[in-house]
Amino acid sequence: RYLRVTDPQCFTTKMRPYLLLSVQAFLSDSFAQSASSLRNINAENVSQRQLLDDALFDCEKGCDMAIGGPVCGDDDISYQNQCLAFCQDVIVKSAGECSGHHSMSDATYEDAVVTKAQLDRFKDEKFVFVGKRNFKNAQGDHMVSNKNAEATDGVVCAHRMTHDWDEYVAKIDLGGIDLNRNSTTGQLPLGVENDRHLQDNNRGVVGGDNRYRVPYNEIIYYPYTAIGEFYSSSGDFGCTGTVVSKSAVLTNAHCRFKDGKFTSIDSFAPGVYRRQGEVTFPEGEWIPQYWTILSGWFSAEELKYDIAIAHFNPNMYRGSTRADLNIGELTGYVGIEATTNDSNKLQKATVTGYPHDKPFGTMWTSGSCTFQKGYDDAITYHTCDSTVGNDGSALLDINRATAYGVDAGEVPVGPQYPGQVYVNLGVIFTDDNIDLISQLVS
């Protein structure tokens, strides 16, 4: 056994390193020997119970990824090896990946030992552990496991990847989500009684666009404290995110996975502001414990699925030194609400975040803008000024502290698109997806 921990006392906000926590436990020689016969599994349909002796795998000790090959479970989910399926009570339908799924034999799959705690980590949310990955030095596209997992009517596939590349998949039955609500309620930071100090007279139009810089004496108050920036360790990519629960931040899926690869985004800083030339991180920088993205984005990068949720923990990878409080308890969080893509409520939304064409550490808002119907019920076209860096900004009604969706990108305009004059689009929360999003953020 070995334990490698970097000293968090060495960290600075400029360095933005990972907090690496890696624990590896090796199975006994007798266990490894008893399971070695599974390294060359026959490529034919087999029954889990016919293939395996109950004593073959000791699930309390975990699963050795070096033993055995990929299998397809009777849940039509592919697993890196048989032990993963067996120890998560899944019957093996066939050897090899499920039909249409990408290979689970490339160099990104690690021969590590997966503990029982890792297997059970998201069991209550119906996520199963499917693979131990490492994309840090991967060449070519980053193929997620079960990328092409089929979703039937009323069932969606969600993927979850942890900070240290544990990969999970869930098939979520929308009919089984019994929330029956079209919104969640925002929350002030703990210990704060007043909500905001809006001082419009301190704003000023910058340049020829309609964006306004949000001044320091507004950013330090809710709900601006719930808006932050995702940073990349390489320094070449970033997005805006908005805290929407005690532990979750909403942004775009393309901020985490774009053009077939995981991006280098690795930290989030809420409420960043610049004052007299100095950038301040009032609650430090936080490293997401894991990300949740819907399969519709991984399989086709379809815009209506361009929503991602970064999840945080009060005890690990935290940015603040304030004990035992999670990110949303420190910053406050906004509510989310279902709407239609041209509703009167949506007309009051803005795009507020950290555009890259403005000085580092400055927050800007679009001010008022107009929304119209998009090509899908979950898509809206809008006139809110936004640039690179605003990716992931909430379509946010500041006065209600309520998000109706996320800013996603540009749409084509020109003679070949008659009648299309709005250059930006957003993904909104609808009656069809609000219960799912509410469950995932909570």
3-state secondary structure 80-140: CCHHHHHCCCCCEEEECCCCCCCCCCCCCECCCEECHHHHHCCHHHCCEEEEEECCCCCCC
Contacts of 222 (CB under 8 A, 6+ apart): 188, 189, 192, 195, 196, 331, 332, 401
pLDDT beyond 60 at 205: no
pLDDT beyond 80 at 18: no
Closest to 425 measured CA to CA, from 442, 411, 404: 411
Ranges 29-33, 99-103, 194-198, most confident: 99-103
pLDDT beyond 50 at 281: yes
What is the distance of C-alpha 217 from the center of its chain?
Answer: 30
pLDDT beyond 70 at 9: no
What is the distance between the alpha carbons of residues 173 and 181, in angstroms, rounded to a whole number?
Answer: 17
Query: Residue 154: its pLDDT value, please?
Result: 76
- Of 136-140, 142-146, 226-230, which range is least confident? 136-140
Query: Residue 261: its pLDDT value, please?
Result: 86
Q: Strand 166-173 and strand 335-336: pairing? A: unpaired
Q: What is the pTM of this model?
A: 0.80
Query: Residue 41: its pLDDT value, please?
Result: 39
pLDDT beyond 60 at 297: yes
pLDDT beyond 60 at 263: yes
Query: Residue 146: its pLDDT value, please?
Result: 77
| CB of 340 closer than 8 Å to CB of 347 | no
Query: Residue 38: its pLDDT value, please?
Result: 40
Helix or strand or coil: residue 372?
Answer: strand
Closest to 411 measured CA to CA, from 364, 375, 378, 368: 375
Instruction: Report the chain's mean pLDDT, rounded to a whole number.
Output: 79
In eight-state DSSP terms, residue 376 is S
pLDDT band, very low/low/confident/very high, at 415 (cuts 50, 70, 90): low
What is the distance between the alpha carbons of residues 323 and 331, in angstroms, rounded to a whole number?
Answer: 14
Element (H, E) at 30: helix 29-35
Residue range 208-220: average pLDDT? 83
Residue range 437-442: average pLDDT? 90
Query: Residue 422: its pLDDT value, please?
Result: 53
pLDDT beyond 50 at 262: yes
pLDDT beyond 90 at 7: no
What is the distance between the alpha carbons of residues 335 and 187, in angstroms, rounded to a whole number?
Answer: 8
Closest to 268 measured CA to CA, from 293, 255, 247, 286: 286
What would the pLDDT profile of 141-181 be if each residue is shown by its tens digit? 788 887 766 556 678 889 999 999 999 999 988 776 765 66
Query: Residue 33: its pLDDT value, please?
Result: 36
| CB of 79 closer than 8 Å to CB of 67 | no
What would the pLDDT profile of 383-401 be if each residue is shown by its tens digit? 888 888 899 999 999 999 9
Query: Residue 250: its pLDDT value, please?
Result: 97
pLDDT beyond 90 at 119: yes
| CB of 309 closer than 8 Å to CB of 250 | yes
Query: Residue 365: its pLDDT value, please?
Result: 93
Helix or strand or coil: residue 35?
Answer: helix
What is the distance between the alpha carbons of residues 408 and 438, in angstroms, rounded to a whole number?
Answer: 19
Query: Residue 398: its pLDDT value, please?
Result: 94
Closest to 371 measured CA to CA, from 342, 398, 412: 342
Query: Residue 363: its pLDDT value, please?
Result: 95
- Of 39-48, 95-104, 278-287, which range is least confident? 39-48
